[in-house]
Amino acid sequence: MQPLQRENIRLAATVMIVRDTANGLEVYMVKRPGKGDFPDLYVFPGGKVDEEDWQPDLCPDMYDKDASVRLGIDAGALRYWIAVARECFEEVGVLLARDTQGIHVPDAGQRAIQANLRSKLLAGEMSWAEVLQAQNLSIASERLVYFSHWLTPPSVPRRFDTRFFLAALPEGQVAVADTSETISGQWVSPTTALQLYKDKEWQMIGPTLSSLETLAQYTSAEQALAEVAAENHVQPWTEKQGEQGMRPFR
């Protein structure tokens, strides 16, 4: 498997959570605090891939060999699905999971339990595996669609080799940003987010802007998931894109 870190480059995963509204597709974005990695930027939820993310049993509906083919690596790609589902729950409180009936749709009581489990996970009192096992859940791997691959340019001291994923907000779930790692979180249409950047009200970097431009083409979450799963969003890679940090899709 790939090492989690090579020199100053760390493996990471990001998720774009989308939902349908009366005004069209929206995506959930968080604002990073004015310190640490990427200060004051509006980004999608995500973070580093950890050693503990290599737990294939948490993704029983996907084999690592199939995940690795999708990402174009030899082995270990399933870690990204596990990591991005974990980060989604940690940073946003959204569980991209399956129960015995299918996609997990929590009721009010389950949401209260999950809020407590999230607090314990963030405090290091429970592991990601224990959170899922406590509710007899597994990761809904088919609802996490691989989107793109980006590498932070060499000019940045701490670099991230990041895989982007796309997921629809499951029914019955509410996104609430974790303010220990972010300042705030909000739903926004991709077009509005791009305009806020153009008006210099939001700070964003190339991978985020490029992803928003792609999402702006879709009118619904299901359309976005279907088009991305079919890889219809993938454009031929160019050296210019490489200079901005984009890596070949696979």
Q: What CATH number corresponds to the domain at position 183?
A: 3.90.79.10
Give the Cα separation of 151 and 160 in Å (integer). Answer: 6
Q: Where are the alpha helices (DSSP H) in the chain?
A: 64-71, 78-92, 108-122, 128-134, 190-198, 206-215, 221-229, 239-243
**Any domain includes 73:** yes
> Is residue 32 within 8 Å of residue 43, measured between CB atoms?
yes
The reported pLDDT for the residue numbered 35 is 67
- Look at residue 38 in the predicted model and tell me its pLDDT: 61
Which parts of the chain register pLDDT below 70?
34-39
Q: Is 177 a member of any domain?
A: yes
Q: Which residue range is the domain that position 60 belongs to?
A: 5-243
H-run or E-run covering 86: helix 78-92
What pLDDT, on the 0 to 100 scale, is given for residue 36?
A: 60
pLDDT value at position 37? 58
Please check whether residue 165 lies inside any domain of the structure: yes
Instruction: Give every CB contact of residue 223 below 8 A, 6+ residues apart in sequence.
Output: none
State how far the Cα of 88 lies from the Cα of 177, in Å rounded to an integer: 10
Tell me the two tokens of residue 131: 């959170």
Domain count, the chain: 1
Structural contact between residues 158 and 10, judged by C-beta atoms closer than 8 angstroms:
yes
228 DSSP 8-state letter: H
**Rounded Cα gap, residues 165 and 101, in angstroms:** 24
So what's the pLDDT on residue 179?
A: 76
In a domain, 250, yes or no: no
Residue 249 resides in a domain: no
Looking at the domain assignment, is residue 24 inside a domain? yes
Residue with tokens 């999971």: 97
pLDDT of residue 119: 95
Q: Is there a contact between 246 and 70 (Cβ–Cβ < 8 Å)?
A: no
Position 158 in a domain? yes
Report yes or no on 60 lying in a domain: yes
